[in-house]
Amino acid sequence: MSAHAIAQARRWYWQRISAMVLAVCVVLHLVGMIWAVRGGLTAAEILARTQGNGLFAAFYAVFVLACAVHVPIGLATIAREWGRLGERAALWLAG
């Protein structure tokens, strides 16, 4: 298997893994926001309750990390497939 094929397979793998993490994070985020708002909390009250909470910080760190992995791979794929860019140009453009 060529180095190019291995790199492409790794990007595919990380795209799928990050998508799974993002799906869980989005659902948890939405459930938490709906629960908080239905409970009558304002944005200021939510922030007051969550600031300094390590669990919330860890959750959103994982959320952001999954986005940071997922988005550039997706943008490179879109640039390559729709923009008809070469592999290197698409990867450079995506970041």
pLDDT in tens, 25-45: 999 999 999 998 898 888 899
DSSP secondary structure of 70-89: HHHHHHHHHHHHTS---HHH
Measured CA to CA, the distance from residue 67 to residue 14 in angstroms comes to 11
pLDDT in tens, 42-59: 889 988 888 999 999 999
pTM over 0.95: no
Q: Are 29 and 67 in contact (CB under 8 A)?
A: no
Measured CA to CA, the distance from residue 45 to residue 36 in angstroms comes to 9
87 confidence band (pLDDT: 50, 70, 90): confident
Contacts of 85 (CB under 8 A, 6+ apart): 79, 93
